[in-house]
Structure 1
Amino acid sequence: MTGYFLYAFIYLVAAVIAVPIAKRLGLGSVLGYLIAGLVIGPIFGLVGDETVAIQHFAEFGVVMMLFLVGLELEPRSLWAMKSKLVGLGGLQLGLTTALITVAAMWLNQPFGISLTIGLIFALSSTAIVLQTLQEKGLQKTEGGKSAFSVLLFQDIAVIPMLAFIPLLAIPELINAGTEHGGNASSHDSFNLVEGLAPWASGLVIIGSVAFLTIGAHYLSRPLFKYVAASGLREIFTATALMLIIGIAALMGLVGLSPALGAFLAGVVLANSEFRHELEANIEPFKGLLLGLFFITVGAGINFSVLSENPMLIAGLTIAVMLSKAIVLFVVALIFKIKGTNKWLFTLSLAQAGEFGFVLLSFASQNYVLPNDIISILSLVVAISMFLTPGLFILFDKAIIPRYKSAKSTRSDDEIDEKGTVVIAGIGRFGQIINRLLVANDVKTVVLDIRSEQIDLIRRIGTKAFFGDASKPDILHTAGAHESALLVIAIDDRETAAEMVKYAKHAYPNVKVLARAFDRGHGYRLRQLGADYVVSETYHSALEMGAEALRSLNIHPFHVERQKMAYKNIESQQNDVLYHAWADDASGERIDNNYLKLFIELESLIEKALKADLHDKHSRMRGWTPPPKGYAEKLAPDEKPDETEGH
């Protein structure tokens, strides 16, 4: 038992040290896990042969991940992506298998071995790709959705691969295995379809999938209601784990992919009212198991085999990744995936996947591949997965800036107008400001660096100029030095701060109004000289809170008084908090004094709102109480409670 504790401690220490460092360096958590595994495995030898067993356990994280992915997809959404699923996925799998099979035959490998290698390397890493796409917020892009379609098709394709690969068994390997007593463990003793006729096996599989989908839809809801009624969170967590483990076991019993079964169950439960609770309970387990899986991939790299064949393994890894990238790029062109999405699709899938390990083990058990080839191919799979985060870094650092610079080659517009107000940024924030000013016959000069936004604004009849307002010459040309106001409504924190600083230095007589992201950013803009700063979420959140009160039949008069009380306290305490923030010399701007004052602010707001709620005699300038008889005119369910004042 002590040994297990030590191994668990080693894995956790490696993750705790490596992953935060990798994230801080912009490398992503996946690469951090892989590096952690590399350090505790091949480099220092702190873990050993147990890595393979742990990897099989940790692969359950992939099952959980696909269940969570399924929860985000409704059946209607899955059906809508059928063309991408079959078209993109099928074409990628077919072309990659064919290309790598031909390459293996060119290297003097028999057709059976070559085809098996082609099938193995046609698969990509669901775990690494989906995890990285989610971390970087790319899963909703066209490239991310296309990559997911291909990964899902590959997971489905594993099933026929497992049925087909044994047909490629090599007689010499079978004879050699028989002479050594055979492979007693070559088949899963719990496989229900083993030995059945093909038609019977098909019926069992179809029945299992039907039971999964129907059962998940009709049986899960009463089960979750029963468990939720207990009020015990840990039992709900146990139920969620039971559900996924049961699905994985069922799929394994009939020879299907547990990950695919979990995905289908997730899709069926996507409309369940318990979806968010399931996500919250499973997410921590998924994250830990996936992290453990990535560590085992790094720890499983066999340096002895690598040192014996360094050029061969390096050459094969590069060849596999390049071949897959070429195929993916061609597929992206065929399906008209453009711009950065084309490169995201190409680079994200240009590696072998975790199911490659499964197929290699399966090929060994069924006498399809010799052990010396398997040891080399396992390294190629592991190293290609290890290099995948580097491809995402290449996408971030090289591809995206290149496309941004290409877009910015549009020459600045000639600004031939001057106005009372210069507005930098015409997004959702700047548009509202501009409409109000123009409606009151105030002449504005609008600038934005996004060409597509400028074109859109012009189509709806608003005049705007393409140009970078953060550049002094552009700002001067726009007439900022002659204007009364400069409104900075851009959505870049640092650029906004630099603009405030420059504008107050270059045009001290011009009043600067600036958009802030949050309280801290607002204080910084104020420190740099902005005359008026507003948080982009402050007023909208206040209005949403007010609407929430009105929706609960709180009297509109009380709602307005509560809003006013909130604003008054916030305004009164804002200077105090700002000076506490400005006086902090640590650079963090959140010291104990600031936190103390912030807590006091929260307390003051709470007291003011409660006092206002029970004060029936307060009045507000510009807002009068509702007319007499207001309550009687409301519908019965809309009448305010008798405790409310009128």
Structure 2
Amino acid sequence: MSPLHTLDFVLLLLAASVVGVMLFHRMRLPGELAYLAVGALIGRAGLNLIPDESSARALAEFGVVFLMFTIGLEFSLPHLMSMKRLVFGLGAAQVGATTLLTLGFGALLGVQPGAALVLGGALAMSSTALLSKLLIDRMELDAPHGRMVMGVLLFQDLAVVPLLVLIPALSQPPEAQLQLLLLAGLKATVLLAIVLYFGQRLLGRWFLLVARRRSSQLFMLNVLLVTLGLAWLTEHFGLSLALGAFVAGMLISETEYRYRVEEDIKPFRDVLLGLFLVTVGTFLDARVIFGHLLLVLGMLVGILATKFAVVFAAARLFGATPGNAVRSGLWLCAGGEFGFVLLSQMSANKLGSDALIQAAVAAVVLSLLAAPFIVQASNKLVMRFVASEWLLRSMELTRVAAQSMTTERHVIICGYGRTGQLLARFVEQEGVGYVALDLDPDRVREAAAAGETVVYGDAARRETLIAAGVARAAAIVVSYADVGSACRVTDLVRELRPDIPVVVRALEEAQLEKLTAAGAAEVVTDIFETSITLASHTMALTGVPLSRVIRRVRDIRSQRYALMRGYFHGRSDAADDPDATLERLHSVALPDGAGCIGRSIAELALPEAGAKVSAVRRRGVRAINPESDLVFETGDVVVLLGTPESLATAEARLLQGV
């Protein structure tokens, strides 16, 4: 097919990208692979629809620029120093050892040292975007292996910068390489020293001047100016565009405008990075790949095996347990998006043969395809092949069981962040025991040393909940706002003990239906509670009587939260709440011969009497909000919700059956 005109090409590219990303997401595969597939389809070896390959490459470079800019934004010196042992120890060992091993293999295969060096750096990279998302989704970010993975990823991101500086010099003749490398290093040092020294002083003042105009459009234009301006400056000095973008992000990260800039730049970064990956996909030539299939497969196996072995050995050297070392190796063994950045620069600078680069790109693509499946199977593989992991898991469960052994009718708090800690203090003041489970080892260690009942454990595991005393607990609270994990916890609780109520925290109302369907007794959303608090303060400050504000908030909450509706009325409540129209709870024991025995809730039509069955207790097991088809039995205790008048009518129907 002949190439399309530019506008036709852009429209086709957008349509193919949208469809491709949707399909890959449906298959639970990374969106980055969809862009690569689109590029391969429309590239030279596919439909050949690219009108001007040089223009497409130039535009795609902006994707790399904004990607490096966001990496610079995330560059925090205090954060790096707090993780320096993992970043500059484990991370440097992983990148260095992988690169050296690739150099050795390259020498055996006759690959030029410069090409082997850059190839080693490219293959050492792992996917920051994919792995960080998987760590968050699986709630393993604060686990020991999660911290090691993030430390290595941070160093990999930083290692890209000097590699991008080296590539143009390495593409020159051998006799000129040393001089060019020294010159590039000198240029980079002088330029960075000047920019960092004066930039930190000037940039904060300049951004303050722009921000005072209170114009989002002006602020966005200024971000683009600073980013592309510094990228142009470094390129003008014979360095890479990406280096200047990284410096711009690093400078802005030290100002108070970091988070606003990060949100403003994200759409540009994602779209342009997608375009960059499309151009990488255009390099893929199926004929070349299948012609060198053994090289591709050998490189794929080599990447996975070598990186796993390097990470495992380095992690053990830095004191990791065998299980965590294996997990870290499995998480980091695949390739990443920065590998494509370096491979594209290799291709642009003619550093290495076309077949070698094609095989490397194909191997990284295949490793990225395998990455989610490797991560998913990592725990099973660890439990299968690491004997000591069983002992450590048993010790972990023993510690959980030891904390819960003496408790009865306690609350299991899943997650001991700020929300979980405040909840623990609240229930403790009311004389209710609790056992908290958390995956942050530092938080657990400090809180446990202070005497709080918190242990390291994953609440989304069956054995952890059993050890925490789910059979004896009164309630379970999921205090972190993660829908996937909360659904897993709720499913396990329903399987282990269906009568116990599970209270779940969520961020938005849109998550309410999913969590309720999973079996949550109540779902507390941050937005709803914040709105109620803001409204109550506003009403009180505008002169609305406090009693009316309290009643209004109580009414809203009672409509929203089923378990907060009503209370068991006693003689002492008359003075506190004389309103006879308020809903109350009332228990009715069903003796032998009661009129409702053998009949369902729906048959008695209790809602028509103005009452609702809030719970049914049968043989010591309480069912919250029972279904309408539940049939009453002798000995049941029925908890009714309604006004005093409707409760009397409903009780008569239960006992007399009329």
Could you state the TM-score of these two structures normalised by the residue count of structure 1? Answer: 0.66
Correspondent of 1:362 among 349, 355, 370: 349
Q: What code does the residue aligned with 2:157 have?
A: L
Give distance in 2, aligned partners of 1:431 and 1:447.
9
Query: Deviation per CA, 1:221-255, whole angstroms, max 9, x where unpaired?
Result: 44434444555433432322222222112111222
Is residue 96–residue 323 contact of structure 1 (8 Å, CA) maintained in 2?
yes
Give distance in 2, aligned partners of 1:75 and 1:468.
34
CA 1:38–1:213: 2 relative to 1, 3 Å: same
Give distance in 1, aligned partners of 2:337 and 2:107.
21
Q: How does 1:216-295 map to 2 (within 5 A)?
A: 216-295=199-278
Q: How does 1:44-59 map to 2 (within 5 A)?
A: 44-45=46-47, 47-48=49-50, 50-51=52-53, 53-59=55-61
Deviation at 1:286, TM superposition (A): 0.7
Give distance in 2, aligned partners of 1:84 and 1:472.
31
Q: What code does the residue aligned with 1:21 have?
A: L
Is residue 435–residue 453 contact of structure 2 (8 Å, CA) maintained in 1?
yes
Deviation at 1:119, TM superposition (A): 0.7
Give distance in 2, aligned partners of 1:102 and 1:299.
30
Give distance in 1, aligned partners of 2:377 and 2:470.
36
Secondary structure of 1:47 counterpart: coil
Deviation at 1:503, TM superposition (A): 8.5
Correspondent of 1:17 among 8, 16, 19: 19
Correspondent of 1:153 among 152, 159, 162: 159
Q: How does 1:228-627 map to 2 (within 5 A)?
A: 228-336=211-319, 339=324, 340-347=327-334, 352-363=339-350, 374-400=353-379, 402=381, 409=394, 413=401, 419=408, 421-425=409-413, 427-428=415-416, 439-441=429-431, 444=433, 446=435, 461=451, 486-490=474-478, 492-495=485-488, 497-498=490-491, 512=501, 514-517=503-506, 519=509, 533=522, 535=524, 537=526, 541=530, 545=534, 564=550, 567-568=553-554, 570-571=556-557, 573-574=559-560
Deviation at 1:533, TM superposition (A): 2.8
Shifted more, 268-277 versus 83-92: the winner is 83-92
Higher relative contact order (CA 8 A, sep 6+): 1
Q: What code does the residue aligned with 1:120 have?
A: V
CA 1:144–1:549: 2 relative to 1, 3 Å: farther
Secondary structure of 2:349 counterpart: helix
Give distance in 1, aligned partners of 2:560 and 2:118.
62
Is residue 100–residue 120 contact of structure 2 (8 Å, CA) maintained in 1?
no
Query: Deviation per CA, 1:154-174, whole angstroms, max 9, x where unpaired?
Result: 42144245435524279xxxx
Deviation at 1:103, TM superposition (A): 2.2
Secondary structure of 1:219 counterpart: helix
1:123 equivalent to 2:121? Answer yes
Q: How does 1:98-117 map to 2 (within 5 A)?
A: 98-107=100-109, 109=110, 113-117=111-115
Query: Deviation per CA, 1:208-229, whole angstroms, max 9, x where unpaired?
Result: 3233224432333444344445
1:3 equivalent to 2:9? Answer no
Is residue 126–residue 151 contact of structure 1 (8 Å, CA) maintained in 2?
no
Secondary structure of 1:263 counterpart: helix
Give distance in 2, aligned partners of 1:383 and 1:54.
21
Is residue 96–residue 327 contact of structure 1 (8 Å, CA) maintained in 2?
yes
Q: What code does the residue aligned with 2:560 have?
A: N
Is residue 414–residue 420 contact of structure 2 (8 Å, CA) maintained in 1?
yes
CA 1:542–1:159: 2 relative to 1, 3 Å: same
Equivalence for 1:609? none
Correspondent of 1:168 among 165, 174, 182: 174
CA 1:401–1:447: 2 relative to 1, 3 Å: farther
Secondary structure of 1:488 counterpart: strand
Q: What code does the residue aligned with 1:63 have?
A: V
Secondary structure of 1:99 counterpart: helix
Identity over the aligned pairs, expressed in percent?
Answer: 19
Give distance in 2, aligned partners of 1:79 and 1:498.
40
Equivalence for 1:36? 38
Give distance in 2, aligned partners of 1:558 and 1:424.
39
Is residue 289–residue 296 contact of structure 2 (8 Å, CA) maintained in 1?
yes
Give distance in 2, aligned partners of 1:221 and 1:264.
14
Deviation at 1:320, TM superposition (A): 4.7
Deviation at 1:105, TM superposition (A): 3.1
Secondary structure of 1:489 counterpart: strand
Give distance in 2, aligned partners of 1:23 and 1:212.
41
Shifted more, 422-431 versus 247-256: the winner is 422-431
Deviation at 1:146, TM superposition (A): 1.8
CA 1:213–1:286: 2 relative to 1, 3 Å: same
Q: What code does the residue aligned with 1:354 have?
A: V
Q: What code does the residue aligned with 2:107 have?
A: M
Deviation at 1:16, TM superposition (A): 0.5
CA 1:217–1:16: 2 relative to 1, 3 Å: same
Give distance in 2, aligned partners of 1:467 and 1:129.
25
Deviation at 1:378, TM superposition (A): 1.6
- Unmatched tracts of structure 2, length 5 or more: 384-388, 480-484, 565-658
Deviation at 1:384, TM superposition (A): 2.8
Deviation at 1:87, TM superposition (A): 4.6
Secondary structure of 1:256 counterpart: coil
Query: Deviation per CA, 1:136-184, whole angstroms, max 9, x where unpaired?
Result: 45688421232221331242144245435524279xxxxxxxxxxxxxx
Secondary structure of 1:255 counterpart: coil
Deviation at 1:7, TM superposition (A): 1.1
Q: What code does the residue aligned with 2:530 have?
A: A
Q: CA RMSD in A?
A: 4.9
Is residue 494–residue 519 contact of structure 2 (8 Å, CA) maintained in 1?
yes
Deviation at 1:571, TM superposition (A): 3.2
Is residue 423–residue 487 contact of structure 1 (8 Å, CA) maintained in 2?
yes
Is residue 468–residue 474 contact of structure 1 (8 Å, CA) maintained in 2?
yes
Correspondent of 1:144 among 150, 154, 174: 150
Deviation at 1:78, TM superposition (A): 4.8
Shifted more, 145-154 versus 425-434: the winner is 425-434
Secondary structure of 1:272 counterpart: coil
Give distance in 2, aligned partners of 1:129 and 1:474.
33
Give distance in 1, aligned partners of 2:23 and 2:48.
20
Correspondent of 1:132 among 130, 133, 139: 130
Query: Deviation per CA, 1:352-406, whole angstroms, max 9, x where unpaired?
Result: 4422332344245xxxx5xxxx111120232133124224313431114555895
Q: What code does the residue aligned with 1:535 have?
A: V
Give distance in 1, aligned partners of 2:215 and 2:40.
40
Secondary structure of 2:127 counterpart: helix
CA 1:224–1:127: 2 relative to 1, 3 Å: farther
Query: Deviation per CA, 1:284-339, whole angstroms, max 9, x where unpaired?
Result: 11111111111222232012222333223433443355434433443333334561
Q: What code does the residue aligned with 2:34 have?
A: G
Give distance in 1, aligned partners of 2:199 and 2:462.
58
Secondary structure of 2:29 counterpart: coil
CA 1:335–1:454: 2 relative to 1, 3 Å: closer
Is residue 496–residue 514 contact of structure 1 (8 Å, CA) maintained in 2?
no
Is residue 516–residue 534 contact of structure 1 (8 Å, CA) maintained in 2?
yes
Secondary structure of 1:515 counterpart: strand
